[in-house]
Amino acid sequence: MRKILTTLTVAPFLLASALTVAGGPIDWRDYDNDGNKKLTIEEFSQLRITQYAKFDRNSDGIWSRKEFVKRSNNMTMARTDALRKKFNKWDANDDAELNSEEVAKLIAGNFRWLDKNKSRSLSLKEMPKRF
């Protein structure tokens, strides 16, 4: 009996965290593994990969240009175009997919851009409010 109760109390938390990953806004504090209120490139990569996971619409583990560009049916051409250009910049070998090397580079570039004071970690102040 005690065991069932434990399961019941734990379950809502599990569900809540699953929902956060699936759709809700990402709280970067969840990725601050050592709790020092700063994100290292490793911690930041985890966050980004979680964010980008939703672009893999067919869940084959590959981010294709088609998936990245086509987010909804009512997007303007300009928006579609901008996304395609963005993707092409990241797609170093031009195969319309992002491999792990390309993703790592993209995240590293992102990290350097956000790390304004070049401390090799992102402080609370440097992290954007929303992505």
Q: Which residues bind Ca ion (CB under 5 A)?
A: 32, 34, 36, 38, 56, 58, 60, 62, 91, 93, 95
Nearer of residues 60 and 81 to Ca ion, judged by Cβ: 60
Contact 39/127 with Cβ under 8 angstroms? yes
What is the closest distance, in whole angstroms, from the C-beta atom of residue 63 to Ca ion in the complex?
Answer: 6
- The structure tokens listed for 52 are 């980008």
Of 15 and 62, CB closest to Ca ion: 62
Task: At 61, list the tokens.
Answer: 């583990």
- Rounded to an integer, what distance in angstroms lies between the CA atom of residue 17 and that of residue 30? 10
| Nearest to Ca ion of 11, 95 (CB atom) | 95
Q: Measured from the CB of residue 130, what is the shortest distance to Ca ion in angstroms?
A: 20
Whole-angstrom distance, CA of residue 62 vs CA of residue 15: 26
Name residue 115's amino acid. Answer: D
CB of 99 to Ca ion, least distance (A): 5
Q: Are 39 and 28 a contacting pair, CB within 8 Å?
A: yes
Nearest distance in Å: CB 101, Ca ion: 8
Residue number with CB closer to Ca ion (91 or 115): 91
